[in-house]
Amino acid sequence: MQLFLDRYIHLIERQGQHLAFNSVSLDSWELTSAEARVLKEHADGATAVDTVGVDVEALVEEGLLVSVRTEPGKAMERLMESRKSKSAKGRGHFNSLRMSLTERCNMACTYCFQQALYPEDQPRMSEETMAQTLEWFIDQAEGDSISLQYFGGEPLLEWPLIQLANATVAKALAEGRISGYRQTMTTNGTVLTDTRAKWLLEQQFELIFSFDGPPEINDQMRIFKSGRGSYEKAAEGIKRWSALGGEPAILMTATQLNLRSLPRYVRWFAEESGINPAVIALNSPQPTETGWETGGVELAQAVFEMWLYCDERGIAFQAPGTFIPLHLRTKMPQSDHCIDGNLFGTEAGTWPVYVSADGRRSLCLVHHNDHRVEVPKGGDPIELGRRWHFEGPTVEECDGCIASQICGGPCTLEKLLWGGDKLSADRCDFMRTMTTEVLTSGRGE
């Protein structure tokens, strides 16, 4: 009888290790070298194969070998059904707000996408705009727990707004309008004082500090407007925060300048900097008109090396691709379009929203200064949010990819930038490489 390797079975060999992975069901099997050889020889159908030492019937029972060639479309069908199901759950609302208090900054980082979006006019949020934004956000949350992330520019330049927002959500909690709240802030740390740090800790804020490497590297990219490097002042800020009881967390951005050295820089931060970070995070790559700012394979290799090191040291690590084990363990597809797996809203029917300093609401947390991502006046933000995250499966050629259920294809922003259902080699290379790394490391078990 002629048998075929199922279309969705991917054979992986790494340092003598043989695995089979079903990219639809997300199941995986350890194979002997003989089993791997037999499966490979059946890739295009075979009848006469040396099967000594191999239980072919078991391979058939497991669905690795099939008697009829598998038709394409199964992966995209499952992804579509998952998205329909996820989209239909919950009443639908935003539970995470990224709010830009200002586009002003005391620094002029060479790669800053925020400053590129506002080369001339750098608005700050007015008290009226903040009050309206929070009232809308709290009202539509309807008693649920919410998350606020203060963003910029440099948010600490707008200290009165931070205090006002904190008082507003505390009042909403006391009145029973929300069941809880979490407040986080991304900061360069250079204007953090003892007084402010103590107050932020009393209000249970979580801060993450931006760094890109040791002083000589950081000071090439993260510079003050005068051109002077910022490492010394930023390090003072995070050490002050830590000394007062705050959790030291750093956020890095991958660029062509530091990409290949990122694992080495992570080791430096952990072992030599004196910062002793408890959390290390890596920004998601910024999509461009042609792809990503960094190559996919190189980024995946750097992320995975950093991930392994942080695990060994007991440091929490957050980066694109680190959500993959969750999908492998739960066997659930990536139903959301976001590259990070929508870490801001894991509950069904909830999504993040970005509000710019001038009050515009964006469905994308990255590329917000673009009319294509904004909620138009009179538009239903809930319905638009649902469509932004869940509408459509993905690109047909994703069907046979090893990462089809994990990646979910290009995000809605990428589709806008790339002109439709097109793929970027950078994204594809990243997700294929990360999925393979996770599978062969056993991290998905």
Nearest to 254 by CA among 280, 225, 227, 226: 280
What confidence tier does 344 reach under pLDDT thresholds 50, 70, 90?
very low
Q: Taken in order 148, 152, 154, 155, is the CA torsion positive or negative?
A: negative
pLDDT more than 70, % of the chain: 94
Nearest to 277 by CA among 305, 329, 242: 242
Question: For the ranges 107-111, 159-163, 204-208, 371-375, which has the lowest average pLDDT?
Answer: 107-111
What's the CATH superfamily of 93-324+350-387? Answer: Aldolase class I (3.20.20.70)
CA 164 to chain centre: 29
Q: How confident is the model over 203-246, as pLDDT tens digits?
A: 999 999 999 999 999 998 899 888 899 999 999 999 999 999 99
E strand or H helix at 12: strand 9-14
pLDDT of residue 345: 46
Cα 352–Cα 358–Cα 361 angle in degrees, nearest 5: 25
What confidence tier does 119 reach under pLDDT thresholds 50, 70, 90?
low
Q: Cα(312)–Cα(300) distance, rounded to whole angstroms?
A: 18
Query: What would the mean pLDDT of 179-198 be, rounded to a whole number?
Result: 96
Q: Cα(325)–Cα(393) distance, rounded to whole angstroms?
A: 21
Query: What would the mean pLDDT of 318-339 be, rounded to a whole number?
Result: 85
Cα 333–Cα 336–Cα 342 angle in degrees, nearest 5: 110
Per the listing, tokens 């060639």 go with 69
Residue 37: burial class (beta carbons within 10 Å; 0-12, 13-18, 19+): middle
- Both tokens of residue 184? 């986080």
What confidence tier does 118 reach under pLDDT thresholds 50, 70, 90?
low
E strand or H helix at 172: helix 159-174
With a cut of 70, say whether residue 409 has pLDDT above it.
yes
pLDDT of residue 113: 61
With a cut of 50, say whether residue 343 has pLDDT above it.
no
Contact between residue 248 and residue 278 where contact means Cβ atoms under 8 Å apart:
yes
Mean pLDDT of the chain: 89
Q: How confident is the model over 122-132, as pLDDT tens digits?
A: 789 999 999 99
E strand or H helix at 390: helix 381-390
With a cut of 60, say whether residue 341 has pLDDT above it.
no
Q: Cα(363)–Cα(380) distance, rounded to whole angstroms?
A: 12
Instruction: Count Cα neighbours of 171 within 13 Å in the Cβ-side half-sphere.
Output: 10
Cα–Cα distance list, 82 to 66, 93, 163, 388, 391 (Å): 25, 19, 41, 15, 11
pLDDT of residue 421: 74
Secondary structure of residue 68 in the 3-state scheme: coil
- Strands of the sheet with 249-252, listed across from one edge: 316-318, 279-282, 249-252, 205-210, 180-187, 145-151, 93-100, 350-355, 361-362
